[in-house]
Chains A and B, each alone.
Chain A
Amino acid sequence: LAKTTQPISMDSYEGQEVNITCSHNNIATNDYITWYQQFPSQGPRFIIQGYKTKVTNEVASLFIPADRKSSTLSLPRVSLSDTAVYYCLVGKHFTGGGNKLTFGTGTQLKVEL
């Protein structure tokens, strides 16, 4: 399983763009990169998933360089409600077996006024 490294914590202010970078040097060819968000006392919630280049949805963008050894989650114009722990996961997605995702310690994002 590919190991991921992300900053332990980040601070931001409302209205700013936040970029959280994740390092995954030993990512395998068929691994996908997935980001989850977790609020206190709740289960993680899916944010975005990608394989290469750029993926964008209504809440975030995911940038993946050509070598795929890192990825960056971009949150545009954060608000107080974006204060949470963000996990970067790397794992295989296939229908023939279990999806063994590995959660690291995540990045605690704190957004202030």
Chain B
Amino acid sequence: NAGVTQTPKFRVLKTGQSMTLLCAQDMNHEYMYWYRQDPGMGLRLIHYSVGEGTTAKGEVPDGYNVSRLKKQNFLLGLESAAPSQTSVYFCASREGVGEQFFGPGTRLTVL
């Protein structure tokens, strides 16, 4: 099992550009999450999904959109990137009651 994988690992964008981060999990988990982590800070929840075709807002959803068309994939989109979105983005998945499994992260820089 690969667990939770994230694509890409690194990305540099210019202000106003758009991009999509892909999260994939092979554990057949129902719940998936997108977090961001700024330097010296804890993780903050952006959006989450409780099942295929469902999404919900987390703590800091502004400027991001998500989609869960397939159970194993959770996409995070930035329509018009801003320097304030420079961060490390982590995806996680979970099944029912229990721990969250995290991916390796995507380091995004917006110039």
- Interface residues of chain A, those whose CB is within 8 Å of chain B, are 34, 41-46, 49, 87, 93-95, 97-106
Contact = CB atoms under 8 A, between A and B. Distances in A.
What's the dominant secondary structure at chain A's contact region? loop
Interface in B83-99: 90, 92, 94, 96-99
A34 B99 contact: yes
Interface of B: 4, 31, 33, 35, 40-45, 48-50, 56, 58-59, 90, 92, 94, 96-105
B51 to A, nearest CB: 10
Contacts, number: 53
The list of the 5 closest CB pairs from A to B, nearest first, reads A43-B102, A46-B99, A103-B42, A103-B43, A93-B97
Contacts of B49: 98
Given A105-B40, A105-B41, A43 B31 contact: no
B44 A103 contact: yes
A61 B104 CA distance: 26
A94 B48 CA distance: 15
